[in-house]
Structure 1
Amino acid sequence: MIMRNKKVILPIVYVLAYLFTFYIVLQYLIYKPSQAGMVSAKLQDASFPYAVWKLFFYPHIFLGIAALLIGAYQLTKRSRQNPARHKQLGRFYGIAILVNVLVVPYIALYATGGTPSTIAFLVLDLFWLGTTAIGIRHIMGKKVLQHRQWMLRSYAITFVFVTFRIVLAIVQLSIDAPRSFTFPLAVYLSIALNLAITEWYLGKRRSRNAAQPIEGAMQHV
């Protein structure tokens, strides 16, 4: 059952991650950020520091994409079959997130939806930092199982990059409310959804691992 779930979930993660990457490259590299709907709305405010904002925005977007793609690969058995590469990619994943965590607060100050959205994105930033830092601490202490569990949680937060846009679209279609409500709501729902799926998956793994000794003993009865 666990393997079937993984075979279903991982392809979905990969497809969404690559589609999102294509969208980011198209929207912010081939075209200009100012042509994006959310950014063009900010430009209507003459006090919006667009030039400085871009210095923080581009590292945020491209380091986020790097973490999204590397993290997806790190979840696979193929990655773990090459420990040296897995460790190297893991370091880059951690660095990409830790640097990103530093630039998010400035970007959050100008989040669509005002102060409620700023707070929501700062909460997301704390979850991102916390889950990643705990995962790194565990591998430094040679606690491989706990490391894998917390890095899976870390990737769940990284995947909010993708989930947020899907959830936001659903929320905006379902609720007639201002962006100061729909944006932070979508952030919180995305965090909760991703972590809930992760905890469900980890719970299934724990149940399976606990049942294995019993099944082995029954074979000898």
Structure 2
Amino acid sequence: MKIGYRFVRPLTVIAGLLCVLVALASYRFVPFGVADTMAFLAYQLPDNRWFLYAHIAIAPLSLMLLPLQLSSRFRAKYSKVHRWGGRLYVLLILVSGIAAIQLASSTEAGPLAGVGFGIVGVLWLIVTGLGFRSGLRRDFVAHRRWMLRSAALTFAAVTLRLYLGLTMAAGLPFGPSYTAIAWLCWVPNLFVIELYLRGSLRWKSRPLLAQ
């Protein structure tokens, strides 16, 4: 299936803006405190305080890096900045991914939600690590493929908040909705990227995320 570039470009711009906006909004806990701004996470703060801070303070930075790291124009013009940005991205995910797995194992949202968040945390670390390794080996085809998968999982931070907003606006019960979102925030993202990488989804004229 081919999608015209005139539809893709606005979507990539919107996705990039959402990355930045969600990343900035994630730091609302700084002036207002964690308990008042993120109570829906359902974690016992005394037991998970440092893991929670490691995740909510560091993961948004990786999200903020995505628009630049995925821009082919930026990569071509500032290749050295792209390389150092990639190293920073990997380091951020290493810290926040480990914290995310710990948080998933101790969430009070239920075992099904915990498994969903735990799996995405493990996959996040694996695909990002494989992307980093292929970059070191200068296998840039594999590097791009793995990093697109990593980007899809990083973008789960955006889709999670979109789904939360939609379910709250629709008045759906929080518990079951949050459990479903623990899977919906990342499985469709990864599915779309896999379709693209396998050639089932193509953009006319321009490659994915070229700006």
8 Å CA contact 1:34, 1:40 repeated in 2: no
1:161 aligns with 2:157: yes
Q: Quick one: distance in 2 between partners of 1:184 and 1:8?
A: 31
Stretch deviating more after TM superposition (29-38 or 157-166): 29-38
Match of 1:128 among 120, 124, 127: 124
Where structure 2 has 5 or more consecutive residues not aligned to the other structure, the ranges are 207-211
For 2:101, the equivalent position in structure 1 comes to 105
Q: Aligned equivalents of 2:41 and 2:186: distance in 1?
A: 26
* 1:21 CA displacement: 2.2
Cα deviations across residues 116-138 of structure 1 (Å, max 9, x unaligned)?
22111101112211221221222
Which of the residues 141, 148, 158 maps onto 1:145? 141
Give the 3-state SS of the residue equivalent to 1:109 in structure 2. helix
- Structure 2 residue 68 is the aligned partner of structure 1 residue 66: no
The answer (yes or no) to whether the contact 2:113–2:183 under 8 Å persists in 1 is no
Q: Match of 2:39?
A: 38
- 1:112–1:139: structure 2 CA closer, same or farther, 3 Å change rule? same
Q: Normalising by the residue count of structure 2, what TM-score does the alignment of the two structures yield?
A: 0.82
Q: How far has the Cα of 1:177 moved from its partner?
A: 4.8
How far the C-alpha of 1:113 sits from its partner, in A, is 1.3
Matched, 1:88 2:80: no
Evaluate the alpha carbon distance shift between residue 39 and residue 137 of structure 1 in structure 2; reply closer, same or farther with a 3 A threshold. same
Question: Matches of 1:160 and 1:128 in 2, distance apart?
Answer: 10
> Cα RMSD (Å) of the superposition?
2.7
Select between 89-98 and 141-150 the one with higher mean Cα deviation: 141-150
The aligned counterpart of 2:189 is: 194
Equivalents in 1 of 2:41, 2:189: separation in Å? 29
Greater share of helix: 1
* Larger of the two Rg values belongs to structure: 1
Deviation (angstroms), 1:64: 0.7
Q: CA deviation at 1:158?
A: 0.4
What do the CA deviations read for 1:94-133 (whole angstroms, capped 9, x no partner)?
Answer: 1111111221232223424122221111011122112212
Quote the offset at 1:160 in angstroms: 0.4
User: What is the alpha-carbon distance in structure 2 between the residues aligned to residue 40 and residue 144 of structure 1?
Assistant: 37
User: How big is each residue's C-alpha offset from its partner over 1:22-78, in whole Å with a ceiling of 9 and x where there is no partner?
Assistant: 32122x111100112525965xxxxx3x24522111221122111101122101123
One-letter identity of the residue aligned with 1:123: I
Q: Which runs of 5+ in 1 are unaligned?
A: 43-47, 210-221
Specify the alignment match of 1:29 in structure 2. 30
Q: C-alpha separation between the residues in 2 aligned to 1:117 and 1:39?
A: 13
* CA 1:20–1:105: 2 relative to 1, 3 Å: same
Separation in 2 of the partners of 1:13 and 1:61? 20
In terms of mean alpha carbon deviation, does 194-203 or 60-69 score higher?
194-203
Q: 1:39 to 1:169 in 2, by over 3 A?
A: closer
Query: Secondary structure of the equivalent of 1:80?
Result: helix
Matches of 1:207 and 1:146 in 2, distance apart? 22
Partner of 2:16: 14
Identity %: 25
Residue of structure 1 in register with 2:177 after alignment: 182
C-alpha change, 1:35 and 1:4, in structure 2 (3 Å) is same
